[in-house]
Amino acid sequence: MAEVEVPAGYVPQYAMAFGAVDAPAVAVHDDNPLPVRAVRKPAASIPLTGTLAASGLAGPFVPELERSIRLTLTGDWSGTVELLRSADGAATALPLTAGGARWGRFTANANEVVADEGEAGARYYLSATLFGGTLAYRVAQ
């Protein structure tokens, strides 16, 4: 392997190399990867949070694309809570499904990823049918 010496400002025989200022270039390979890592900024979406003491609908949550959506349910409550998705400005809000079965439907406290969104304009709503207690919710990325 030929070494590239300073003052050469380029590395013609390598597809990718790096080095310190005034130091020889070092080839990139499995044992010497680029000294970088992918950095992803925090999601810019605004979490949907609140409490419900009676049945109702909360939302919308406007997700950032290509990120997971996490639903957190806490409190002392009984009933059914379901995450709904709309792609037509809330004219139609449909339950989430996986393999044809309902998904994102809960009867107890939860903290889990429920969806990944890739369609611009999609909105999420939380539908709760409560029989008692107070539900605290958070839909976020």
* pLDDT tens, residue by residue, 93-122: 999 999 999 999 999 999 999 999 999 999
pLDDT of residue 35: 76
* Res. 14: pLDDT tops 50: no
State how far the Cα of 110 lies from the Cα of 10, in Å rounded to an integer: 55
Written as six digits, the tokens of 67 are 């990120």
The mean per-residue pLDDT over the stretch 17-39 comes to 77
| Among 97, 99, 80, CA closest to 137 | 80
CA–CA separation, 136 and 71 (whole Å): 11
Q: Just give the CATH number of 48-140.
A: 2.60.120
How many residues in total does the chain contain? 141
What would the pLDDT profile of 31-56 be if each residue is shown by its tens digit? 878 777 778 899 999 999 999 999 99
Residue ranges covered by each domain of the chain: 1-39, 48-140
User: How far apart are the C-alpha atoms of 16 and 26, rounded to whole Å?
Assistant: 9
